[in-house]
Structure 1
Amino acid sequence: MSESPTVSSPNRVEQLRALFAELRLRYPKPLASGASAAPPIADANLYEPGQLVQIFDPSIVTRVAEGGLDADEERKSGRRRQIARQLQVSGHQRLLGACVTDALTERIAVLKASHPNFAEVSEEIAREAVLAQFGNASVTGLRLLLVGPPGVGKTDYALRLAEALGVPMQLVSMSTAQASAHLGGSDEYWSNTRPGAVFEAITSGRHANPIIVLDEIEKCRLSHVGSGGDPLGALYQLLEPRSAQIFCDRSVLWLPIDARHVNWVATANSTEGLDPALLSRFVVFEIPMPSAEAHHAVLQRIYTQMLREFGVQDRLAEALRPQDLDALSGTSIREARLLIRRSIAAALQSERDVIEVCHTARAPERRIGFC
């Protein structure tokens, strides 16, 4: 008697689907142009280490994909099935990046040296890395609030931290956040409903612990009146590990996700007007203006990075001259970047081997945007 053909069981299909999802996480393709992520620390085609953690219950997604939830209007149920099928492809697990290694410890030390006025913040991250060695071996769940005057380099530090940890970064400008939907999604009954930044960062990415930077967090209090809710409302749940573990985006209320591993970095010019209950969920750091010596070191670093970025190390002097440093004194990090970039372009255009920064080339003062 001939044997009947083997039929793949549902469990076998799920196992294969999980295997393919893990392979996509471990051996990622290079990021597409314009992708919002920190520059990779290593070759994007190499195997990426890190513990896999479950971010949602796959059985819920399976039921929704098969139309197993309560009957509902076609638009809503159809959208749910589409989301569920997408999640089936990407899988219910994500990597914990920022694995604690000697290389990571060294990058944190470099970050501390390059941003001396953020030394206390870097020391806090180093302590978290030590604790992580006795847990999941990855830096997760940071809740940092950097408070300081404009131009002190808060956003620049947050971006460099994402590079040092080697995890994706999403920057949310809270001065333009108009509603609670920005972070926690919009209500499902709206025809244009869409998930918020947290759901998208976790489910659409490869990591369970990306960095979400909330820039100028104190300014959203002025912009949310009459806009459909407090932009910070979702943070009360997201910054508490227990409640973040069962976070439900308002656009995908049927699927709780585990958002407790997300690393949060908020920036503010002051804490005035911020709810004490919200502040208590952060580790707050007062960031001083850098000393003249430290400011010069940062300017040199920016210049060196730009030379590498444009591949002109062999065409221009390797360091800024004292007169250039003097011309950049008192500038914010943002303004200094623009001035150095312009000066490099001018030197290349004139076929000179040194740049010349002068006060007449100073960019106009603008306080809108990152600080």
Structure 2
Amino acid sequence: MEDKKSDRLSPNEKNKKQVKDHVIKLDTEKLPVVINKKVRVIPNKYKEISEKSDEIESKENILKIVPVKNIVLFPHNVLPFTAGKEWTNESVDRAIRIGGKIGILAQINPESNSPEASELYSVGTEAKILKIMKFPDNTYGAVIQGMRRFKIRNFISIEKERFSADVEYLSDFPPTEENIEVVAIGKAMKQLVQKAISLSPNIPNEVSLFIDNVQDSSYLADLIVPYLSIDFRSKQSLLEINDLEERLKRVHVLLTREIEVLEVSQKINSDVRSEMGKQQRKYYVKEQLKLLQKELGELDGRTTQSSGDPSELLEKILNSKMSAEVREVALREAERMGLMQPGSPEFMVSHTYLTWLLDIPWETHTQNEVNLKEAKSILDLDHHGLEKVKKRILEFLAVCALKNSLKGPILLFVGPPGVGKTSLGKSIAKALGRKFARIALGGVRDEAEIRGHRRTYIGSMPGKIADALKKAGSMDPVILFDEVDKLANDGRGDPSSALLEVLDPEQNSTFTDHYLNVPLDLSKVFFIATANNLHSIPPPLRDRMEIVELSSYTLEEKTHIAFEHLLPQVIEGHGMAEVADIKMTEETMKNLIHFYTREAGVRQLKRELAGVIRSIAREFVEAGYVKASDKSEQELVKVKPPERVVTLEEVKKFLGPIIFSDRKRPQELPVGVVTGLAWTPNGGDVLYIETASSAPGSGKFGLTGQLGEVMKESVQTAFAYIRSNAKLCGVDSRSVIKKDLHIHFPEGAVKKDGPSAGVAAFLGMVSQFTGKAIASDLAMTGEISLRGEILAVGGIKEKLLAAHRYGIKKVLIPFENERDLEEIPAEVLKEMKVMPVSTLNEVLSIAFEKKKKMNSKKVTKASRVNSSRTYKRI
């Protein structure tokens, strides 16, 4: 059955089976190593050649030759090394099966990867393969032991990576008693070895017992040579010396030199240790290495210097503009750096520290002569409106023109997003002729971000202040702290507290960064901070800055900014400046602003304009208007049209349906509904307050609309005033007790808070209890007290602009906010009547066009001023 099965096998499968059967029959106990590798299949036509090769290499004088690089193997030595790909062929396998004997020959040219027979030395060492290992990366390693020296007679096989040679073994005969010189050299060499063992701290004492038992001088010499400090060519020359006496003399000379090196090393250890302390041990190692290299002749005398050499840094420090205090610190650090090993971590820490000190622009200033007219033109060109800010900057420049040195002011720009706070800082730097640096503080919660990390920490660096000075290249830049109201704090420190010294003109002249640990003069830096909400800034930090409020833009201001700044920037940014002359009418621009944006600034407006220009760009590209790819100049393939006017219909087509529908003001309001005004981060808004009552009831009071605690208290104050002064308000006291009242603020998904809804809530409840409606063109804002006083609130400009946009004709504001009317545009005040009121009696008179007498004490202007306070806006 087996014969029939074998007949069905293909020739290739029969060969594999024969090889497998042959491997199984091997006596594995005689193999020195078991190699885990796949069996190579030997074709039939090469089978006879392989068997003959095995027979030839089994002869005593025929060796398989393996070339090695930079390695000389001596008899009796065990050598592990990384094996090449020649260890993977079947010749090595046969060498192991026959007895594990191969010939190790060094290459004359170590750089050759495929050496030929002529590129090998003629004298080598027969070796026994102790182990062959395959590593996980498919590379091989071998452990071999030298047996005896041989010399090549002639090569039998010189195939690529398969060398076989007929060799002549070189034998060393033991010295006879007549050869007294050889015996003497052997004894002297043994004494030198014992001395070397005593001088070397790394060799255990047990080795000396082994050396005493060695009687063969040749054996001892072969053991010593691999450990001598000589290159592989010198070792090869020792291997080729056949005369025993000559070889022993040569080894004796080299061993004597090695002893001298060890003695010098020991002397250096004793001398340097006595002169140097604990802080200088790394320097001692460096000097020891230099002396050893000099004794061995390996130092060629060349010196290399890098940019981090202490001598170069020392020269830069002496030529820098540092103050005397800072220069003393830098020189001390450079001296300490010179005692360190260049590759040590401490060396790099000192090098980085000195580099930072040299990068700080000491005594470097950039501001030129002050030109008020040029500065004013720059501010007017970059920003429309913002007269208060421009006035403050020009005042600062005027003082600078009169006095050469002036401590830099700290301005805080507070306003809604998109009104130009950050870009205003760049314009100020441009107007002053200074460098500009921006530091984003949003989400910063680590104090070290401001003051730097101490050098005791790994990876420590200076803070943002020192980094800004380095990037600006001067000590008087304009530094903008963006989003200062969004600083955070945790267990690592409070960064807002770290800014107290920076933003104090009386202290920042000696600001100290934790990393640099030297004073930095920040007195000439122009600091600017921006914030959206003033009340989230800690009071001590807010007290150090001059607050400048930036209010919302009016429709006219937005239109001017869009035509003068935004539209040209968007056209240029989208590559349409050379394609078409895009224009837009003023009416189209106002409609785009009114129906597609609801913001205090112009950021969303710029995005909407970009959407219009992108749609026009697509039309031109689809029509074939593309730029030619000429290196000299860019031309249009087709003639561009002279101009492209964007209409309102096209805006609706490009941007889609209207986002913000224009709610028309109703002609009449139901009983219990009143129009209030609110402030939001995106500008002012109109807010309706609705009331409803039910009878019979028990005087219950309810509030809805996702209100904050301050707003709830304000409404409860108004209701308490009505209950205590029902007759004076024209309300039947019995209806207040027998009815349940509910007040609702629409848009319940939006959080609302603040005290300014007190007047509107009061009028809404009075309207509900009296059954009289409030005029639809009347809006109001203001906080009330239980005494009937109306207190000041914030955001008056935003609220009045929202009322004007909505078509309100009359607005009630607190009397103390009358001063805010100076910021309202004249065209708004012409179309809307603003009436300051101080008591609820005046509010009722205006709302119901009937003067009501109240027993409350008349409030004079002086008392209003004395009772004025600062309240948070909605």
The two structures share one fold, judged by TM-score above 0.5: yes
Structure-2 residue corresponding to 1:240 = 504
Structure-1 residue corresponding to 2:197 = none
Measure how far apart 1:76 and its partner are. Answer: 5.7
Deviates more, 1:344-353 or 1:258-267: 344-353
Closer/same/farther in 2, CA of residues 345 and 79 from structure 1, 3 Å limit? same
What does the per-residue CA deviation read over 1:66-85, in whole Å, with 9 as the maximum and x for residues that have no partner? Answer: 3289x9xx756742333214
328, 349, 352: which one aligns with 2:593: 328
Matches within 5 A, 1:44-123: 57-67=326-336, 75=345, 78-88=348-358, 92-97=362-367, 99-102=368-371, 105-112=373-380, 114-123=382-391
2:479 alignment partner, SS class: strand
What does the per-residue CA deviation read over 1:81-125, in whole Å, with 9 as the maximum and x for residues that have no partner? Answer: 33214533666332233x3443x6424344246534421111111
8 Å contact kept, 1:140–1:209: no
Closer/same/farther in 2, CA of residues 128 and 357 from structure 1, 3 Å limit? farther
Provide the C-alpha distance between the structure 2 equivalents of 1:299 and 1:291, rounded to a whole number of angstroms.
12
Measure how far apart 1:268 and its partner are. Answer: 1.5
8 Å contact kept, 2:376–2:394: yes
Q: Structure 2 length as normaliser, TM-score?
A: 0.32
Say whether residues 1:270 and 2:270 are aligned partners. Answer: no
Provide the C-alpha distance between the structure 2 equivalents of 1:87 and 1:357, rounded to a whole number of angstroms.
56
1:133 alignment partner, SS class: helix
Provide the C-alpha distance between the structure 2 equivalents of 1:361 and 1:175, rounded to a whole number of angstroms.
35
Closer/same/farther in 2, CA of residues 184 and 318 from structure 1, 3 Å limit? farther
What does the per-residue CA deviation read over 1:159-212, in whole Å, with 9 as the maximum and x for residues that have no partner? Answer: 333343343333333222121122221233221221111101113431212222
342, 360, 366: which one aligns with 2:656: 360
Structure-1 residue corresponding to 2:581 = 317
120, 123, 131: which one aligns with 2:399: 131
Q: Which amino acid aligns with 2:398?
A: V
Provide the C-alpha distance between the structure 2 equivalents of 1:15 and 1:225, rounded to a whole number of angstroms.
39
2:329 alignment partner, SS class: helix
523, 536, 549: which one aligns with 1:260: 523
Closer/same/farther in 2, CA of residues 321 and 278 from structure 1, 3 Å limit? same
1:62 alignment partner, SS class: helix
546, 562, 566: which one aligns with 1:302: 566
8 Å contact kept, 1:17–1:91: no
Runs of 4+ aligned residues of structure 1 deviating over 6 Å after TM superposition are 53-56
Provide the C-alpha distance between the structure 2 equivalents of 1:282 and 1:60, rounded to a whole number of angstroms.
33
Q: Which amino acid aligns with 1:92?
A: W
Identity percentage over the alignment?
22
8 Å contact kept, 2:479–2:528: yes
What does the per-residue CA deviation read over 1:301-354, in whole Å, with 9 as the maximum and x for residues that have no partner? Answer: 122234455664343436543213421343432222323233323322212835
Closer/same/farther in 2, CA of residues 85 and 155 from structure 1, 3 Å limit? closer
490, 494, 499: which one aligns with 1:230: 494
Closer/same/farther in 2, CA of residues 178 and 314 from structure 1, 3 Å limit? same
Provide the C-alpha distance between the structure 1 equivalents of 2:378 and 2:360, rounded to a whole number of angstroms.
35
1:212 alignment partner, SS class: strand
Closer/same/farther in 2, CA of residues 160 and 320 from structure 1, 3 Å limit? farther
8 Å contact kept, 2:411–2:527: yes
Closer/same/farther in 2, CA of residues 196 and 64 from structure 1, 3 Å limit? same
Say whether residues 1:198 and 2:462 are aligned partners. Answer: no
1:236 alignment partner, SS class: helix
8 Å contact kept, 2:450–2:463: yes
Q: Which amino acid aligns with 2:441?
A: M
Closer/same/farther in 2, CA of residues 346 and 164 from structure 1, 3 Å limit? farther
8 Å contact kept, 2:574–2:614: no
Measure how far apart 1:265 and its partner are. Answer: 1.4
Q: Which amino acid aligns with 1:80?
A: S
Structure-2 residue corresponding to 1:6 = none
Mind listing any 5+ residue stretches in structure 2 that lack a counterpart? 1-311, 621-640, 660-680, 682-874
Deviates more, 1:236-245 or 1:155-164: 155-164
1:151 alignment partner, SS class: coil
8 Å contact kept, 1:324–1:357: no
| Bigger relative CO (Cα 8 Å, ≥ 6 apart) | 1
8 Å contact kept, 1:117–1:287: no
Closer/same/farther in 2, CA of residues 116 and 54 from structure 1, 3 Å limit? farther
Structure-1 residue corresponding to 2:617 = 348
8 Å contact kept, 2:566–2:606: yes
Structure-2 residue corresponding to 1:45 = none
Matches within 5 A, 1:143-182: 143-182=410-449
8 Å contact kept, 1:147–1:271: yes
Closer/same/farther in 2, CA of residues 325 and 184 from structure 1, 3 Å limit? farther
Measure how far apart 1:274 and its partner are. Answer: 2.3
Provide the C-alpha distance between the structure 2 equivalents of 1:122 and 1:163, rounded to a whole number of angstroms.
13
1:170 alignment partner, SS class: strand
8 Å contact kept, 2:413–2:548: yes
Measure how far apart 1:15 and its partner are. Answer: 9.9
545, 555, 564: which one aligns with 1:282: 545
1:350 alignment partner, SS class: helix
1:234 alignment partner, SS class: helix
Q: Which amino acid aligns with 1:217?
A: V
8 Å contact kept, 1:56–1:93: no
Closer/same/farther in 2, CA of residues 153 and 186 from structure 1, 3 Å limit? same
Say whether residues 1:337 and 2:571 are aligned partners. Answer: no
8 Å contact kept, 1:152–1:289: yes
Provide the C-alpha distance between the structure 2 equivalents of 1:96 and 1:361, rounded to a whole number of angstroms.
52
Equivalent pairs counted in the alignment come to 315
1:171 alignment partner, SS class: strand
Say whether residues 1:251 and 2:520 are aligned partners. Answer: no
Measure how far apart 1:132 and its partner are. Answer: 1.0
1:289 alignment partner, SS class: coil
Measure how far apart 1:284 and its partner are. Answer: 0.3
Structure-1 residue corresponding to 2:763 = none
Provide the C-alpha distance between the structure 2 equivalents of 1:93 and 1:281, rounded to a whole number of angstroms.
26
8 Å contact kept, 1:186–1:196: yes
Mind listing any 5+ residue stretches in structure 1 that lack a counterpart? 1-9, 22-52
8 Å contact kept, 1:141–1:262: yes
Q: Structure 1 length as normaliser, TM-score?
A: 0.71
Closer/same/farther in 2, CA of residues 160 and 13 from structure 1, 3 Å limit? same
Closer/same/farther in 2, CA of residues 160 and 328 from structure 1, 3 Å limit? farther
8 Å contact kept, 1:186–1:195: yes
Structure-2 residue corresponding to 1:31 = none
Say whether residues 1:216 and 2:216 are aligned partners. Answer: no
Measure how far apart 1:270 and its partner are. Answer: 2.0
Higher gyration radius (CA): 2
Q: Which amino acid aligns with 2:417?
A: P
2:551 alignment partner, SS class: coil
Provide the C-alpha distance between the structure 2 equivalents of 1:346 and 1:270, rounded to a whole number of angstroms.
37
Structure-2 residue corresponding to 1:26 = none
Q: Which amino acid aligns with 2:545?
A: F
Q: Which amino acid aligns with 2:376?
A: I
